[in-house]
Amino acid sequence: MGTSPFYVTTPIYYVNAEPHLGTAYTTIAADAIARYRRMTGHDVRFLTGLDEHGQKIAQAAEEHGMDPQAWVDSIAPSFTEAWKMLGISYDDFIRTTEERHKRGVAAFWTKLHDEGHLHQGHYEGWYCVPDETYWAEDQLEDGMCPQCGREVQQIREDNWFFKLSGFGPRLLEFYAEHPEFVQPETRRNEVVSFVTGGLKDLSISRTNFTWGVPLPFAEGHVTYVWIDALLNYITALGYGSDDPADVERFQRYWPAEYHFVGKDIIRFHCVIWPAMLMAAGIEPPKSVFAHGFLLTKGEKMSKSKGNAQTPASLVGRFGVDAYRYYFLRDVSFGHDGSISMESMVQRYNGDLANDWGNLCSRLFNMTEKYFEGRVPALPDPAHETADDATMRAIAGSLPETYEDHMRRLDYSAALDSAWELIKFANRYIENSAPWTLAKEGDTVRLAAVLYNALEAVRIAALFTAPVMPNTSAEVWRRLGLGDITQVTDILAAAEWGGLPEGSSVVKGEALFPRIYEEE
Ligand code: MSP
């Protein structure tokens, strides 16, 4: 707690195509932790952005008959618009063609050059343009890229190399001392065994095209796109500038708490990146978390496979909160997950329309009907029933359970714990039958039941807010409460009894109108 800095990043996305469900997935996950950490009082800095250099982008621009800068400028808005639609609360958005980034990249490689971490050499091998990755002959599978299965091209160039080969022992020592650096553990094992197998020096420059940051000490060389891109995490904080505001920002937020990445890019983030930072005398990030792939019909969703879907189509049908909920609840973070329209409709109707939406509408309706839309008083604890106590206990343990899950970025389990309260509150209403109490004229018990259930709703809204920010804000509004995004101490906010007596409750429309399969 307190105002400790919390810096979280997504990969920067290639601007060769518009964002799809896969790229949106990393971004939503990072957004949910950023939102939650703001609610636990952290000073959050959430960075995302675009990877705009390299051969792949240059090719995409050429195919469209455009100059690369004009091309990236034309695609960039499709990302900022998609993130706006998905409620992504980033604090900074970096594009690698920005001056602040190029300046930082030049400063970084000049430093490594001056300090003897580079050498000149000849590169001869294979290159996968779609993955922007070098491969040795013996790594290819049937002559194709071992990662994506696409064609590779042969390159022979005089390049500059980073002496990565010398960093093996330091990296292994670092992984051993910081077991949380690579997560989840399966990925850690993969990284450790890769480094144990021995590292080769890394070619960091290219000469056969020009769309990149020029290496200041080597005429005609542009930096290899990956070692340009990785630096975004520090150039966005101000690395490479001596402006006091930049220096202070960098000192405050670095090292990052989390880099969120897909499992396909962990070697870059867990081997090359920390080695680069070690060479420059900068601390590596605290943790790199690799999530799995979204699969449709068993295949990774990607532009090249032609099965990429844009978020807009699903958001149009389900709404943005249901969209965010589905991916974070249904796919276990860190594993591959199959997604389908059927399971999305099921989650929507079951968890959102039936459980959460219904709970809210029933309660808001009854408050209007029986108490003229005013929250009754906090009930007298002397008359607490066993059910009342159970609900209070579930709500009471939620903050800790939720925090435990979120600390492990287990969104699915965190949402499950919030659902325990939502489900119990529904059962509580069934068991207490407020409509019968009203008929019998038992106003005291009726008031107690409604208060308790409304209070459960208020607390459930707090813990679903990181994933479903709009719904939670709306629920709080309908409960006559303030702006939920202003909550910076979720523990205090979640204390039982926080719902003020007399607060005016608004019925409103259904939060998640049921979707019929035939639609
Ligand atoms: N530009 C590099 C990252 C540089 S970071 C210094 C890059 N860009 S990307 O646009 O190709 O991919 C960005 C992220 O999207 C990766 O983490 C990747 O794993 C993720 N995804 C792309 N397709 C995906 C799925 N089908 N499912 C889940 N995530 C996937 O790599």
pTM for the structure as a whole: 0.96
Closest CA to 319 of 507, 488, 490, 509: 509
One-letter identity of residue 73: D
24 Cα to the center of ligand 1, angstroms: 9
Instruction: Count CB-CB contacts under 10 A for residue 210.
Output: 12
Give residues (CB < 6 A) around ligand 1. Answer: 11-14, 22-23, 25-26, 51, 229-230, 232, 261-262, 264-265, 293-294, 300-302
Of the residues 8, 10, 12, 26, which should be mutated to test ligand 1's pocket, given the most ligand atoms within 8 Å of the CB? 26
Confidence at 304, pLDDT banded by 50, 70, 90: confident
Question: Is pLDDT above 90 for 16?
Answer: no
pLDDT band, residue 478 (cuts 50/70/90):
very high
Displacement of CA 443 from its chain's centroid (Å): 46
Task: With a cut of 70, say whether residue 263 has pLDDT above it.
Answer: yes
Helix-helix angle 411-432:386-407, to 10 degrees: 170
d(CA 265, ligand 1 centre) in Å: 7
Residue 298 binned pLDDT confidence (cut-offs 50, 70, 90): confident
Whose Cα sits closest to atom 9 in ligand 1? 13
Q: Which fold has domain 340-493?
A: Isoleucyl-tRNA Synthetase; Domain 1 (1.10.730)
Measured in Å, residue 261 CA sits from the centre of ligand 1 at 7
Query: What pLDDT band is residue 4 in, cutting at 50, 70 and 90?
Result: very high
CA 368–ligand 1 middle distance (angstroms): 48
Q: Whose CA is nearest to atom 6 of ligand 1?
A: 230
pLDDT of residue 1: 41
Angle ∠(361,434,492) on CA atoms, nearest 5:
65
Report the nearest-CA residue for atom 15 of ligand 1.
23
SS3 for 182?
Answer: strand
Query: pLDDT class for 303, splitting at 50, 70, 90?
Result: confident
For ligand 1, atom 17, the nearest C-alpha belongs to 262
255 close to 6: Cβ distance less than 8 angstroms: no
Give the neighbor-by-neighbor strand order of the sheet with 288-291: 92-95, 43-51, 5-14, 258-262, 288-291, 182-183
With a cut of 90, say whether residue 148 has pLDDT above it.
Answer: no
Ligand 1 atom closest to the CA of 273, numbered from 1: 6
- Interacting residues of 446 by C-beta distance below 8 A, sequence separation 6+: 370, 434, 437, 438
| Element (DSSP H or E) covering residue 205 | strand 205-206
CA dist., res. 129 & res. 152, Å (int): 7
pLDDT at position 467 is 98
The number of C-alpha atoms within 13 Å of 379 and in the hemisphere containing its C-beta is: 21
DSSP H helical ranges for 94-133: 99-114
Q: Tens of pLDDT along 52-62?
A: 999 999 999 99
> Model confidence at 306, in pLDDT bands (50, 70, 90)?
confident
Q: What is the pLDDT of residue 107?
A: 97
Give distance in angstroms: CA of 13 to centre of ligand 1.
7
| Contact call for residues 414 and 332 (beta carbons, < 8 A) | no
**Cα 284 to Cα 269: distance, rounded to the nearest angstrom:** 10
pLDDT at position 389 over 50: yes
**How far, in Å, from the CA of 488 to the mean position of ligand 1?**
31
In sequence order, which residues have a C-beta less than 8 Å from that of residue 321 and are 6 or more positions away? 87, 467, 468, 469, 470, 471
Measured in Å, residue 226 CA sits from the centre of ligand 1 at 13
* pLDDT over 90 (residue 388): yes
Q: Whose CA is nearest to atom 29 of ligand 1?
A: 22
Atom of ligand 1 nearest to the CA of 14: 10
Q: How far apart are CA 127 and CA 150, in angstroms?
A: 11
In the 8-state DSSP scheme, what is residue 98? S
Residue 170 has pLDDT above 90, yes or no: yes
| φ and ψ of 457, to 5 deg | -65, -45
Mean of pLDDT values over 106-117? 98
User: Which residues are within 8 A (CB) of 466 and not within 5 positions of it... i.e. 6 or more apart?
Assistant: 32, 33, 35, 36, 39, 406
Check whether 2 has a pLDDT greater than 50: no
Tokens of residue 389, six digits: 């106590």
Long-range pairs, 276-279, Cβ under 8 A, ≥24: 276/108, 276/112, 276/162, 276/227, 276/230, 276/231, 278/167, 278/170, 278/171, 278/174, 279/112, 279/115, 279/117, 279/162, 279/163, 279/167
Q: Which positions ≥6 away from 470 have C-beta within 8 Å?
A: 87, 320, 321
> How much of the chain, in percent, has pLDDT values that exceed 70?
99
Is residue 426 a contact partner of residue 391, using CB atoms and an 8 Å limit? no
Reported as a pLDDT band with limits 50, 70 and 90, residue 516 is confident
φ and ψ at residue 41, rounded to 5 degrees? 80, 10
pLDDT digits (tens, 9 = 90+) for 399-438: 999 999 999 999 999 999 999 999 999 999 999 999 999 9
pLDDT, one tens digit per residue, over 36-77 is: 999 999 999 999 999 999 999 999 999 999 999 999 999 999
Centre of ligand 1 from the C-alpha of residue 408, in Å: 21
Distance between Cα 23 and ligand 1 center (Å): 6
Q: pLDDT band for position 518 (50/70/90)? A: low
Q: Which of 145-149, 175-179, 393-397 has the lowest mean pLDDT?
A: 145-149
How far apart are alpha carbons 14 and 121 in whole angstroms? Answer: 28
93 forms beta bridges with 48
pLDDT at 299: 85
> For residue 25, how far is its CA from the centre of ligand 1 (angstroms)?
9
How far is the C-alpha of 246 from the C-alpha of 309, rounded, in Å?
Answer: 38
Give the model confidence (pLDDT) of 172-231 as tens digits: 999 999 999 999 999 999 999 999 999 999 999 999 889 999 999 999 999 999 999 999
From the CB of residue 329, how many other CB atoms can be counted at a distance below 10 Å? 19
pLDDT, one tens digit per residue, over 429-473 is 999 999 999 999 999 999 999 999 999 999 999 999 999 999 999
From 16, 95, 226, 264, mutation site for ligand 1 pocket: most ligand atoms within 8 A of C-beta: 264
Model confidence at 519: pLDDT above 60: no
Q: What is the mean pLDDT of the chain?
A: 95
- Burial letters for 12-49: b for 16+ Cβ neighbours within 10 Å, e otherwise? bbbbbbbbbbbbbbbbbbbbbbbbbbbbbbbebbbbbb
pLDDT digits over 18-40, tens only? Answer: 899 999 999 999 999 999 999 99
Q: For atom 24 of ligand 1, which residue has the closest CA?
A: 22
C-alpha 63: how far from its chain's center?
32
The rounded Å distance from CA 374 to ligand 1 centre is 49
The residue whose CA has the least distance to atom 5 of ligand 1 is 11
Residue 174 CA to residue 244 CA, distance in Å, equals: 31
Q: How many CA atoms lie within 13 A of 438 on its CB side?
A: 12
Domain residue limits, the chain: 340-493
Q: Which of 23, 150, 261 to mutate to test the pocket of ligand 1 (most atoms within 8 A of CB)?
A: 23
Per-residue pLDDT band for 297 (boundaries 50, 70, 90) equals: confident
| Proportion of the chain above pLDDT 90, given as a percent | 92
**Burial 393-411, CB ≥16 within 10 A → b, else e:** ebbeebbebbbebbeebbb
What pLDDT is stored for residue 464 in this prediction?
Answer: 98
pLDDT at 307: 82
